Structure formats: structure tokens, C-alpha cells
């Protein structure tokens, strides 16, 4: 197949041209924001920034659900006037159990439990053990809940991070219960870490009748304003989900910082009812199981707005307001992996990467010309086109390029010439065997193609596996090599072959320069 149709010629030239055009946005500024200006993103290791891996606390999600299930179960038993005793909650086995009042009521109680509405399908099982009725949360269902909670959390995490003014953050789910946060340019992520590490569940609850000892239906919590333990009722009167706005202000009376909040109509009504019925009692403002303050209710508050004064400074008041505006997380998040690259190291890495890439390219180019003469030069042109096409495809997908990714590109370039070497060695052999130039070219290309495809297919498979099972830096490395194998097949099997064929058609040499 030594003849290239015009269509094929235009096709190859067209692809190369498109490649060049797709590369251009990486070196220019977008002339207008509306244009589809696609660039390669630089990874955090190159531009500097922070990477945080957050883990949703599945145990806490389970704990909360057990608690609400317990409330539901008690209410249902009460509604059906079924008695029970010794209602126990076991977080370790994620189960609830109780003893029915009498054997006669056991079946009715079991039915009542089975009628409880699950939040997700097959959320819990009901069974009997040693006369007790046991409700057990199912792990699979809890994972489904976790996935839901992660989706909600991502929204809230985004709102919180946006409020800090971080530029171009990326927030994505990983696995069932994790969130990856990437913050380019943030070299000190402590504030963001503490913002994300706060659940920010705000509740308003009355203190227990005797605030110094825990009684049934109340829990001892730390009062941060006076650093003592107080008993706060478990029943939540008003919840932070009813909040519509919050802001940091300077308190007119004390001159210190305070956080004001505004409730929606449902919240305002509930707030009014509680404060009207409990004038003179203490009302605790609880944030994540810590009492910020517990003031006396002096007058009923009916307008649905209020103010929290809990020894804030400017930073902590505005952070709390920010958290309240963004909403509470469905479960606590904790940081399990953190990587921060300072801006100077990122710049040094880009420098190192580019120097390596250019030096490597130069060495390979020189070697090929020395080793294969004219055909080596054609291989070098194909190599250059290969680099352009790799950058073009990465730009097209707006992929992220990291330092290992750059290493992948360089190795691809080293291996890409392998195909040219195979072809050239074949042609040389055919010439030695006494074939004419045309037959030698023909046989060389045809015979080498099978070998090239075999050797690239194994590398392709290995790196696809690496991409699928790898994490972090490995994935980016595998991605660039996988893309590189595809572009290598194009540039060697089509482009460099085309160059050789055109040269042959124009020069009609008596012997080949191999």
C-alpha cells in the first residue's frame, strides 16, 4: 500500500492541524469568556495548593439514626398502647432492643416495629431474641444512607468553601463515604480544615429541671461560656434547619462580637411557642453537642430572630455565621489525608518537568537522526506531532496534568520511536535480502505493523489496569501513557509512513537510506 489517496492525505494533515489548534489555548489568554476555551489544568503538585480527603463518620450517622429510630419506636408503642421495659440501644451492633410488657403483647409489638417506615429500603430487620424484640440496622442500607449523606455534604462543603473565597476549588465524591477537596493556591488549609471539621448542627433546647444532674431524657453537655457541665433536654425545640440567615455583628450592649440569626416562619412559630411557655427558664443554644450559652428567657421571642453572644472574636463570629448560612452537615467529616504543596515547590516542579521533557525529547531526536538518518528525521517529525496530539487530547478533555503525568508523557515519547525503529529495521532487512526500494518499503511497513500492534496492545492493557485500579498520582501517569499509546499508533502507522511515501514518490531514489 504505497499509494496514499488524497482523502487520506488530507485526513492525516487535518488531524495534525486540529491538534495544533487544540494546543493553542494552553499558551494564549482567552479572547472572550464565552468561547469554548479548553486548557489543560495543572495539578496541585505543579501549581501549589492543598488536597484534603474527608471521611464521613458512618458511626455517627448510625448513632443518629438509632436515636431517631428509638424515638419513633417508643412513640409507635405508646400510640398502640403497648408496654415495654428495658429499652436498650447498642451502638456497637447498631441495634435497639426492648422487652415487651407481656408475652401476649409480643406479636403486636413485633408488628408495630415492622410497620415503622424505613428511610431507605431494607433499612433494618426486626427479630426476636431471648424474648426481646431486636431491631438491627443493615450495613448495606447504612452505606446507601452514607452515599446520600455524602451527596448532601458535598453541597454544604462547597458552600462553606466558596464563602472563604478560595479560587477554583474542586469537590468530588470518592467511594461510598469520602469526599476529595482540592484547593489550588491554598497553602495553609487550617482554616478550611476547621470549617469542614465542624458539623454545625445548631439546636435550641431547654435545660433539664435540675441542670446539675443528668435525668432520663436529658444529657450532660459542656457549657463553653462557663466551662461546666449542664443537663440539657434531649428534646429539640428548634433546629438549625429552620435558619434562613445568619450574620456577625457587634453587640450593642457589651461591645463584643455576636452572631444574629433569622428563622423561617415554622421556626419562628416554634420559637415563639417555647419562649412564651417557658419565661424565666434557661434556654440552651447547642452547637455540635456543646452549649454555646444558656440564657434565661426574659420575654417571649416572637419575631423569629435572635442573637448569640458566646465570647466570640471577629473571626469566630464570622465563621459561625458562615457555617450557619451554609447549613449543617448530615454527619461529621474528618480529614484522613492531607497534602499541601507550597507555591514555590510547585513552580520548581513545573520547571523540573519542562526541563526534563525538553532534554529527553532532544536526546531522542538526536539519537534517531544518528541511528536512522533521513528516516530518523521523519520519525522525529512524527514524535513532535505525537507530543502535540497528546497535549491536544488532554486539553480537549480538560484533563489535569501532574508531575507524574509529565513523566508519563516523556516515557511515551521514548517508547513511541520504538514503532519507527521496528519499521526501519524491517525495511533494512528487506533491502539486505535484495529487494528493490519499493518492495522493501512495502514489506517493511506491512510486516512491522503486526509487531507494533502486539507490543502496544500489551502496554495499553497494562496501563488501562493501572488507571482503573490506581489512585492519585498513578492514575494521571497511566492516563497520559494510555493517551500516548493511541497517539503513537496514529503518528507512526499513518503520519511517519505518509512522510516516507511522499518522499519516495518525489525523490524516486535508487536505494533507501537505511
Partner 1 sequence: MLSRPLFRFVRDDRRINFMRGRHMGLIVSAVLSIASVILFFQPGLKLGLDFRGGIIVEAQTPGPADFGKLRAALDHAGIHPDAVQAFGSPRDVRISINAPEGADREAQTQKLVDGVKSAISAAEPGTQVLRADAVGASVSTELFRDGLLALGFSLAMILIYIWIRFEREFAISAVVTLVLDLTKTVGFLAITRFEFDLVMVAALLTILGYSTNDKVVVYDRIRENLRKYRTMPLRELLDLSINETLNRTLGTSMTVFLAALPLALFGGSTLTGFATVMLFGIVVGTSSSIFIAAPLLLLMGEKRLRKEAVAD
Q: Which of 101, 106, 325, 374 binds partner 1 (CB under 8 A)?
A: 374
Residue 192's contacts (CB-CB under 8 Å, 6 or more residues apart) are 50, 52, 160, 161, 164, 166, 181, 183, 186
CA distance 52 to 38: 26
CB nearer to partner 1: give 314 or 457. Answer: 457
Nearer to partner 1, 103 or 454 (CB): 454
Strands 228-233, 218-223: pairing kind = antiparallel
- Least separation in angstroms between CB 55 and partner 1: 8
- Asked if 345 contacts 353 with a C-beta cutoff of 8 angstroms, the reply is no
Rounded to a whole number of angstroms, the minimum distance from the CB of residue 447 to partner 1 is 8
Nearer to partner 1, 74 or 428 (CB): 428
Smallest separation, CB 449 to partner 1 (Å): 11
Q: Which is nearer to partner 1, 105 or 418 (CB)?
A: 418
Nearer residue to partner 1 within complex by CB, 17 or 348: 348
3-state secondary structure of 37: coil
Least Å distance, CB 506 to partner 1, is 15
- Contact (CB, 8 A) for 344 and 199: no
CB of 463 to partner 1, least distance (A): 7
- Kindly provide the b/e burial profile for residues 332-360, where b requires at least 16 CB atoms within 10 angstroms of the residue's own CB: bbebeeeebbeeeebeebbeebeeebeeb
CB atoms within 10 A of CB 7: 8
Q: Which is nearer to partner 1, 120 or 421 (CB)?
A: 421
Identify the three-state secondary structure at position 241.
Answer: helix
For residue 33, the SS3 value is: coil
Q: Is 454 in the site for partner 1 (CB under 8 A)?
A: yes
Nearer to partner 1, 100 or 184 (CB): 184
303 near partner 1, judged by CB under 8 A: no
Q: Nearest distance from residue 469's CB to partner 1, in Å?
A: 4
Minimum CB separation of residue 401 from partner 1 in Å reads 14
Strand 257-263 versus strand 228-233 pairing type: unpaired
In DSSP terms, 243 is beta-bridged to 263
Task: Answer yes or no whether residue 188 interacts with partner 1 by CB under 8 A.
Answer: yes
Site for partner 1 in 56-115 (CB under 8 A): none
Dist CA 345 CA 161 (whole Å) = 24
**For partner 1, the closer CB: 292 or 365:** 365
Q: Least separation, in Å, of the C-beta of 339 and partner 1? A: 5
x/- letters, 135..164, toward partner 1 (CB under 8 A): ------------------------------
Q: Per rule CB under 8 A, is residue 514 in the interface with partner 1? A: yes
Q: What's the CA angle centered on 160, arms 55 and 242, to 5 degrees?
A: 100
Find the binder of partner 1 among 39, 138, 187, 442 (CB under 8 A).
187
Q: Which residues contact 50 (CB under 8 A, 6 or more apart)?
A: 44, 181, 182, 183, 186, 187, 189, 192, 338, 339, 340, 341
Question: For partner 1, which stretch binds (CB under 8 A), given 67-75, 107-115, 188-196, 390-398?
Answer: 188-196
- Side-chain half-sphere exposure of 271, counting CA atoms within 13 A: 24
CB of 132 or CB of 339, closer to partner 1: 339
Q: Confirm or reject binding of residue 373 to partner 1 (CB under 8 A).
A: yes
Rounded to a whole number of angstroms, the minimum distance from the CB of residue 93 to partner 1 is 19
Site string for partner 1, 36-65 (x = CB under 8 A): ---------x-------x-x----------
Least spacing, CB of residue 460 vs partner 1, in Å: 9
Question: CB of 374 within 8 A of CB of 428?
Answer: no
**CA 25 – CA 14 distance, rounded (Å):** 18
Binders of partner 1 in range 333-372 (CB under 8 A): 334-342, 344-345, 348-349, 352-353, 355-357, 359-361, 363-364, 367-372
SS3 state of residue 54: strand
Q: Does the footprint of partner 1 cover residue 451 (CB under 8 A)?
A: yes
User: Using CA atoms, how far apart are residues 333 and 422, in angstroms rounded to an integer?
Assistant: 55
Q: Does 429 bind partner 1 (CB under 8 A)?
A: yes
Amino acid at each position: 500500500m504505497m499509494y496514499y489517496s488524497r482523502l487520506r492525505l488530507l485526513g492525516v494533515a487535518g488531524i495534525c492541524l486540529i491538534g495544533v489548534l487544540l494546543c493553542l489555548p494552553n499558551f494564549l489568554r482567552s479572547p472572550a469568556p464565552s468561547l469554548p476555551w479548553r486548557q489543560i489544568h495543572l495539578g496541585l503538585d505543579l501549581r501549589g495548593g492543598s488536597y484534603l480527603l474527608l471521611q464521613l463518620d458512618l458511626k455517627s450517622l448510625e448513632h443518629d439514626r438509632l436515636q431517631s429510630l428509638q424515638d419513633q419506636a417508643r412513640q409507635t408503642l405508646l400510640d398502640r398502647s403497648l408496654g415495654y421495659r428495658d429499652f436498650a440501644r447498642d451502638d456497637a451492633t447498631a441495634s435497639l432492643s426492648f422487652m415487651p410488657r407481656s408475652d401476649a403483647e409480643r406479636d403486636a409489638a413485633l408488628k408495630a416495629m415492622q410497620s415503622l417506615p424505613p428511610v431507605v429500603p431494607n433499612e433494618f430487620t426486626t427479630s426476636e431474641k431471648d424474648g426481646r424484640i431486636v431491631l438491627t440496622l443493615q450495613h448495606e442500607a447504612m452505606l446507601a444512607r452514607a452515599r446520600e449523606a455524602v451527596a448532601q455534604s458535598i453541597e454544604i462543603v462547597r458552600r462553606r468553601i466558596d464563602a472563604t473565597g478560595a479560587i477554583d476549588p474542586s469537590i468530588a465524591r470518592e467511594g461510598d463515604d469520602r469526599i476529595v477537596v482540592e484547593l489550588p493556591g491554598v497553602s495553609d488549609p487550617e482554616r478550611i480544615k476547621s470549617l469542614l471539621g465542624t458539623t454545625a448542627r445548631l439546636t435550641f433546647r431547654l435545660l433539664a429541671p435540675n441542670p446539675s444532674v443528668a435525668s432520663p431524657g436529658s444529657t450532660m453537655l459542656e457549657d463553653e461560656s462557663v466551662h461546666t457541665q449542664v443537663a440539657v433536654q434531649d428534646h429539640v425545640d428548634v433546629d438549625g434547619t429552620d435558619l434562613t440567615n445568619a450574620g456577625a455583628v457587634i453587640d450593642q450592649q457589651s461591645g463584643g462580637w455576636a452572631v444574629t440569626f433569622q428563622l423561617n416562619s415554622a421556626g419562628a412559630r416554634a420559637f415563639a411557642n417555647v419562649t412564651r411557655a417557658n419565661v424565666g427558664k434557661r434556654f440552651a443554644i447547642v452547637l455540635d453537642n456543646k452549649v454555646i450559652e444558656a440564657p434565661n428567657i426574659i420575654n417571649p421571642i416572637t419575631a423569629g430572630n435572635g442573637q448569640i453572644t458566646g465570647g466570640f472574636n471577629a473571626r469566630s463570629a464570622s465563621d459561625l455565621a458562615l457555617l450557619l448560612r451554609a447549613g449543617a452537615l448530615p454527619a461529621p467529616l474528618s480529614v484522613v489525608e492531607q497534602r499541601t504543596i507550597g507555591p514555590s515547590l510547585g513552580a520548581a516542579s513545573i520547571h523540573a518537568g519542562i526541563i526534563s521533557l525538553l532534554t529527553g525529547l532532544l536526546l531522542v531526536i538526536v539519537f534517531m537522526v544518528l541511528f536512522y538518518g533521513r528516516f530518523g528525521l521523519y520519525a522525529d517529525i512524527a514524535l513532535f506531532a505525537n507530543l502535540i496530539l497528546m497535549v491536544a487530547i488532554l486539553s480537549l478533555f480538560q484533563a489535569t496534568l501532574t508531575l507524574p503525568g509529565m513523566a508519563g508523557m516523556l516515557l511515551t515519547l521514548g517508547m513511541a520511536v520504538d514503532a519507527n525503529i521496528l519499521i526501519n529495521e524491517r525495511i533494512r532487512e528487506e533491502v539486505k535480502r535484495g529487494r528493490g526500494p519499493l518492495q522493501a518499503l512495502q514489506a517493511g511497513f506491512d510486516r512491522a505493523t503486526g509487531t507494533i500492534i502486539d507490543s502496544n496492545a500489551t502496554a495499553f492493557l497494562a496501563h488501562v489496569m493501572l488507571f482503573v485500579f490506581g489512585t492519585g498520582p498513578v492514575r494521571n501517569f497511566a492516563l497520559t501513557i494510555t493517551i500516548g499509546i493511541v497517539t503513537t499508533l496514529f503518528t507512526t502507522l499513518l503520519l511517519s509512513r505518509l512522510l516516507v511515501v511522499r518522499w519516495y514518490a518525489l525523490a524516486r531514489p535508487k536505494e533507501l537510506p537505511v
